[in-house]
A and B are shown apart, each in its own frame.
Chain A
Amino acid sequence: MAQSGLIGPKCKLYYNTGNFATPVWAVVPKVSDLMITAEADEADASSRESGAKLTLKTLQGLEVTFKMRKDPADAAFLIIDNAAVTYDILDFLVLDGLSTFNTARGYRFESQIFSHTESQNLGDVLYPEYKIKPAPTTNGPPSRAVVASGAPVFTAMAP
């Protein structure tokens, strides 16, 4: 029976080497573990018209953490690692497949690098971990990304 699930090794984290309107997506090649957390804040919306407690989503949180093999010869590593100690904003696209693979889904957002942790234990191959989350920029809110016709299509995450 053919496998129907998607698998982690095929997922991609990209950063934009072009401009925002005409992005050129370069893959971050040495990513190992990556976690997307999209969790909204909740507000109580209960009223006397219902006996049930009612809740509405307010602000949509979005956070991505990822580990990347440390390689000073890797352009993506240098850009991300340098941004970890500056206030630079990078444009990221995180997908569960190639940016040309129709139906691949994920998010696009501009972000600073908010944390950098790195284990240097004996026996470790170094995989520093970084955290990114959307920043306010002139390019608008973060977007949902879905690949269609061989390219990602972006839909702003707005209420």
Chain B
Amino acid sequence: MATEVLDVCDRVVAAITEYWEAADPPKGAADRVVRDYAPEFSETPQEGEGFEPPRPAGRRVWVFPDESVHHGEMDREGDDDEHFVVVAIEEWYDGAGTPPRDWLDVRLAFTKSLWKLLRNARPEPEVIAGFRPESAEVQDWYDVPMLRFNRAYLSFVRLSYREIADPNP
């Protein structure tokens, strides 16, 4: 049984993967893009608490559902539904000391690339087939506590997609 908001998440994962593998630099062996109900960063202990947490390698992109809204009947056949998903981009600095500005600039540019990629309604075929981009918001370009205490980059992009949905469960 298809659940539309998970379908959107899976298509977002596929779109990011395809984009990243063709990007410069391309997705590395330690990098990953996954749909996850409980992204690990949400439970990561902070260095400020007195111990050194394990530092994951590579860039990790998490995709998870946020909410869905029904806007009424689109026509006699379909409903007008909107699904919100969140993309979190996380990467822990693997050098010594504070992450340099250049390192952060590259991560922030990656967030910008995904923000633009996933909101673009123009390409044919569609970036997220069957769903049209409605809104795209960078909620956090970076998380300050995560940067200060964990020397890690963490940003959030919230996107929504409209679909003409089957009214049946």
The chain A residues found within 8 Å of chain B, CB to CB, are 8-9, 11-12, 29-32, 67-69, 125, 127
Contact = CB atoms under 8 A, between A and B. Distances in A.
A118 to B, nearest CB: 15
A29 B77 contact: yes
Nearest to B77: A29
A12 B76 contact: yes
A66 to B, nearest CB: 10
B76 A11 contact: yes
B164 A32 contact: no
Interface of B: 73-78, 132, 164
Contacts of A32: 74-76
Contacts of A69: 74-75, 77-78, 164
10 contacts: A8-B76, A29-B76, A30-B78, A32-B74, A32-B75, A67-B75, A69-B74, A69-B78, A125-B74, A125-B132
Given A69-B164, A127-B75, 15 more contacts: A9-B73, A9-B76, A11-B76, A12-B76, A29-B76, A30-B75, A30-B77, A31-B75, A31-B76, A32-B75, A32-B76, A67-B75, A69-B75, A69-B77, A69-B78
Nearest to B74: A32
A127 B75 CA distance: 10
